[in-house]
Amino acid sequence: MNNQYDITVIGSGPGGYVSAIRASQLGYKVAIVEKYNTLGGTCTNVGCIPAKALLDSSEHYHQAQEQFKVHGINLDNLSLDFTQFIKRKSEVVRQNTSGLIYLMKKNKIDVYQGTGSFIDQTQIKVSTADQETMLTSKYFIIATGSKPSSIPGVIIDKKRIITSTESLSFSSRPESMIIIGGGVIGVELASVYARIGTRVTIIEYTESLIPTMDRELGKTLFKTLSKLNINILLKSKVQSATNTGSSATVNFINDEAKEQELTADYCLVAVGRRAYTDGLNLGAVGIETEKSGKIKVNEQLQTIVPNIYAIGDVIDGPMLAHKAEDEGTFVAEVIDGQKPHINYKLIPGVVYTWPEVASSGATEEELKAKGVEYTVGKFPYSASARARASMDTDGFVKVLVSPKYGEVLGVHIIGPRAADVIAQAVVGMEYEITARDMYHISYAHPTYSEALKDAYLQAAGQGAINI
């Protein structure tokens, strides 16, 4: 390989591989550096993709247990092959990583395995256990992602006190599990294991599940997860977690300020993630990380060094794969002299429980705090013909609309296929289409998306028209 490049991307997660592909499409000579053996980063290998595979598998099993008889489907001796349960997840991951290898070859992107570290502003060293390779590049894009974080008193040993990574590859089904954190990762993995019979307890510090989203979503999710017999303890502060050899013990202070203790097979720490920049040798180019570990960038996603950019989890903003992808495309086009745009307010957040949760735009709490006037349109899935047909009647669609101009300020959904339905709402808000316009367009019947139409009607002072 000729080791001189126009653009070198460090990290091959969603932000990294998208930026590399877009840069190649624009005619640049591109290299991508990945320290692990497979491409794809956290999302593809130990995050989004394997988690969704397990979520789907566990939901099929749960439906077979709880709903098939109602559909007239009778199963004798239903059982779960846990080995196959995990094997299928691994196969989904393999297919995705193989797809990335193909995309790198198709786009003529050189792939280097090893840890990339800066020597100066135009050179990095890629190191493996037995060799070092020098790369020279006009531009660099840092896309090294994030790692699970913890809290004081809780040391992750990856044996009994684990992260989401270890929870995706158990050799046998856990009988019990304590999950510290009721955010997106915590509630998704709680769903996976509760559906297949694991006794799950969630301990959440705040007064709501998924606390960064609209509070009404968290309240409804609490009810739906409780149906899976998940024990949810809110307003509870974990003090410590201890590996006792055959189990894990968690000490915490509950919502009544009383000290409590719980023991389970595993303690899963799901309290968020931290930016991962280890090994980059950023000091060699004068880049300092903030207290949070993140890299400071300007509106063009440039670091303090003009030819070095950073995207995804290593910079400020939500740690979402699609946010990183958008930024990857953005930076490639900025380097190309274009003027791309990202509307950070409209990057949707999704929780892949069942029912799914999806949100974009402002929450009610944010609008109240800013003193912004709004009207609410809300439609329950219990009134949806499509949801009744599929037995998915939990949840609702809520739209927040400006009474002055009819602008849609926020859309919040908990219900079947919310992750897909939210896309239409994002389009509407991005192009400032009014609630009136949104309910005047045609919606196929019966569909889950019709709930959006009725919510828009409600917000505009009209009555619901669909069932």
Domain boundaries along the sequence of the chain? 4-147+274-344, 161-271, 355-459
Answer yes or no: are the C-beta atoms of 463 and 457 closer than 8 Å.
Answer: yes
Average pLDDT, the chain: 96
Distances from the Cα of 335 to the Cαs of 173, 181, 224, 284, 332, in angstroms? 48, 39, 46, 23, 5
Summarised one tens digit per residue, pLDDT across range 335-363 is 999 999 999 999 999 999 999 999 999 99
Classify residue 325 by burial, with Cβ atoms within 10 Å: 0-12, 13-18, 19+. Answer: buried
- How many C-alpha atoms does 51 have within 13 Å on its Cβ side? 22
pLDDT at 467 (0 to 100): 56
- How many C-alpha atoms does 231 have within 13 Å on its Cβ side? 13
Summarised one tens digit per residue, pLDDT across range 8-34 is 999 999 999 999 999 999 999 999 999
pLDDT class for 460, splitting at 50, 70, 90? confident
User: Angle CA(48)–CA(50)–CA(51) in degrees, nearest 5?
Assistant: 60
Nearest to 195 by CA among 347, 19, 54, 377: 54
Secondary structure (3-state) at 22: helix
- Once rounded to an integer, what is the mean pLDDT over residues 389-417? 97
Q: What is the per-residue burial (b if ≥16 Cβ within 10 Å, else e) of 366-403?
A: ebeeeeeebbebbbbbebbebbeeeebbbbbbbbbbbe
Q: Which amino acid is at 268?
A: L
pLDDT at 287 (0 to 100): 97
Answer yes or no: are the C-beta atoms of 362 and 410 closer than 8 Å.
Answer: yes
pLDDT class for 461, splitting at 50, 70, 90? confident
Query: How many whole angstroms separate alpha carbon 263 and alpha carbon 256?
Result: 20
**Nearest 10 degrees: Cα torsion 107, 312, 340, 4:** -40
pLDDT at 465 (0 to 100): 63
162-166 long-range contacts, CB within 8 A, separation 24+: 162/266, 162/267, 162/268, 162/269, 163/268, 163/269, 163/270, 164/46, 164/47, 164/51, 164/189, 164/268, 164/270, 165/46
Answer yes or no: are the C-beta atoms of 140 and 306 closer than 8 Å.
Answer: no
Query: How many whole angstroms separate alpha carbon 90 and alpha carbon 73?
Result: 29
Specify whether the backbone of 114 is left (phi greater than 0), alpha (psi in -120 to 50) or beta: left
pLDDT class for 466, splitting at 50, 70, 90? low
Choose the CATH number for 355-459 among 3.40.30.10, 3.40.50.620, 3.40.50.1820, 3.30.390.30: 3.30.390.30
Query: How many whole angstroms separate alpha carbon 14 and alpha carbon 145?
Result: 9
Summarised one tens digit per residue, pLDDT across range 79-109 is 999 999 999 999 999 999 999 999 999 999 9
Residues composing the chain: 467
Answer yes or no: are the C-beta atoms of 149 and 156 closer than 8 Å.
Answer: no
Sequence ranges of the binding site: 52, 116, 144-146, 181-188, 204, 272, 313, 319-322
Query: How many whole angstroms separate alpha carbon 385 and alpha carbon 89?
Result: 33
Classify residue 83 by burial, with Cβ atoms within 10 Å: 0-12, 13-18, 19+. Answer: exposed
Secondary-structure breakdown of the chain: helix, strand, coil percentages, each rounded to the nearest 5: 35, 25, 40
Overall pTM > 0.75: yes
Specify whether the backbone of 293 is left (phi greater than 0), alpha (psi in -120 to 50) or beta: left
Query: How many whole angstroms separate alpha carbon 392 and alpha carbon 416?
Result: 6
* Catalytic status, residue 71: no
- Once rounded to an integer, what is the mean pLDDT over residues 225-248? 98
Sequence ranges of the binding site for FAD: 52, 116, 144-146, 313, 319-322
pLDDT class for 464, splitting at 50, 70, 90? low
Answer yes or no: are the C-beta atoms of 180 and 203 closer than 8 Å.
Answer: yes
pLDDT at 385 over 90: yes
Query: How many whole angstroms separate alpha carbon 281 and alpha carbon 142?
Result: 12
pLDDT class for 462, splitting at 50, 70, 90? confident
Hunting for tokens 């006792």 — which residue is that?
244
Sequence ranges of the binding site for NAD(+): 181-188, 204, 272
pLDDT at 1 over 70: no
- Once rounded to an integer, what is the mean pLDDT over residues 314-326? 97
Tell me which CATH homologous superfamily contains domain 4-147+274-344: FAD/NAD(P)-binding domain (3.50.50.60)
CB atoms within 10 A of CB 171: 7
Query: Which listed residue (62, 71, 440, 445) is catalytic?
Result: 445
Domains 4-147+274-344 and 355-459 share a fold: no
- Once rounded to an integer, what is the mean pLDDT over residues 448-455? 96
SS3 of 61-101: HHHHHHCCCCCCCCCCCCCCCHHHHHHHHHHHHHHHHHHHH
Would you state the CATH architecture of domain 161-271? 3-Layer(bba) Sandwich (3.50)
CB atoms within 10 A of CB 99: 13
- Once rounded to an integer, what is the mean pLDDT over residues 261-270? 98
Nearest to 219 by CA among 211, 227, 229, 231: 211
Answer yes or no: are the C-beta atoms of 324 and 311 closer than 8 Å.
Answer: yes
Distances from the Cα of 229 to the Cαs of 72, 190, 221, 225, 266, in angstroms? 25, 10, 13, 7, 18
